[in-house]
Amino acid sequence: MQLLGTKRLRDGRQMLPAGGYSQPTENQGIMDMETGEIIALSKKDQRIADAKKNRKEVMAKLQAKVDKENAEKLALSEKEKKAKKKETLKLLEGRLTRVLDGLDVASKKVEEIKKQQTGKSTPKLERNAEAASGRKDGSLSKAEQFQKDIEDRMRGQTGSPQRKTKASGQQLVGSDAEKYAGINAPYIKTNKEMGGTHNLTISLDSPDTWKSGSINNSRLMSFSFDRGKIEVTTKSTDLPTFRKVKAATPEEAVRKINAYLKKNNLA
């Protein structure tokens, strides 16, 4: 083995001068002049080579550690899922057991009540049955009469509808229609809901002109009057928009409606 002469390496650094043997220096290495094989790298190149080798080993160790941690997390996650599922099933089973136990207790109580009531009939029970099913003479029971009164009140009427025709030909329908008789319309119908809301329907056409006798075939407007405000709930499509306005009393509501009718040449 001989020392390299003045030939430069690829990176521009020189190897040791020709003749004799020596150890590699910081920037010079040793080469066999006959074979061209580098016997030893410079100290700097050797450090770089060692660092690369160590980096690969470190990266491999880190990757192996990460893979191991991921595998452990996955196994733990599957274990937790199984444990949670088992716990949920146990909880549902406990709830179902309590429900079934409650049904058994209720069923036993029902059977006991049936046994106690078998063959027993009191005047009070007979009166209650009579009140629920109606009178023998065909009159309404208390429950049926109460339901009818509620329905009548919701329709704004007591018994049969109250209809009144004024001398001018204006028709008023409903117990509260007189309060709104000042509206310039040939037909006025009112009803009052249980909450206190007044529902008001007017037709700008006389009932004898309605096609098929239906108010829906006329120019109609329906208002809701509640809590000091009056607004339109439904109207014929060819009628102008009526904006919601304040009205403290039925008289004020009449004035607001008439103002709308006059403004749009409908009165």
Tens-place pLDDT, residues 8-27:
444 444 444 444 445 777 78
Domain assignment present for 210:
yes
Do 187 and 151 share a structural domain?
A: no
Do 33 and 14 share a structural domain?
A: yes
pLDDT value for 12: 41
Residue 5 to residue 11: CA distance in whole angstroms? 16
pLDDT value for 222: 94
pLDDT value for 128: 56
Helical spans, DSSP H, in 118-213: 123-133, 142-154
Q: What is the pTM of this model?
A: 0.41
What is the average pLDDT value for the chain, to the nearest integer?
Answer: 76
Residue 201 near residue 180, CB atoms below 8 Å: no
- In this prediction, residues 212-221 reach a mean pLDDT of 91
pLDDT value for 43: 81
Do 129 and 64 share a structural domain?
A: no
234 pLDDT tier (thresholds 50, 70, 90): very high
Do 174 and 232 share a structural domain?
A: yes
Domain assignment present for 153:
yes
Q: Which of 14-18, 113-117, 132-136 has the highest mean pLDDT?
A: 113-117
pLDDT value for 148: 56
pLDDT value for 189: 92
Domain assignment present for 179:
yes
Domain assignment present for 95:
no
Domain assignment present for 229:
yes
Q: Which of 3-12, 123-132, 235-244 has the highest mean pLDDT?
A: 235-244
Domain assignment present for 116:
no
Residue 33 to residue 4: CA distance in whole angstroms? 6
Do 74 and 20 share a structural domain?
A: yes
Do 174 and 148 share a structural domain?
A: no
DSSP class per residue in 153-177: HHTT-SSSPPEEE-TTS-EEESTTG
Do 146 and 232 share a structural domain?
A: no
- Total domain count for the chain? 3
pLDDT value for 2: 33
Domain assignment present for 103:
no
Residue 41 to residue 212: CA distance in whole angstroms? 114
Answer yes or no: is pLDDT of 240 > 70: yes
Residue 31 to residue 28: CA distance in whole angstroms? 10
Do 145 and 199 share a structural domain?
A: no
143 pLDDT tier (thresholds 50, 70, 90): low
Do 198 and 245 share a structural domain?
A: yes
Do 230 and 153 share a structural domain?
A: no
88 pLDDT tier (thresholds 50, 70, 90): confident
Do 43 and 11 share a structural domain?
A: yes
**% of the chain residues with pLDDT over 70:** 71
Domain assignment present for 45:
yes
Domain holding 173, by residue range, is 161-263
Do 200 and 149 share a structural domain?
A: no
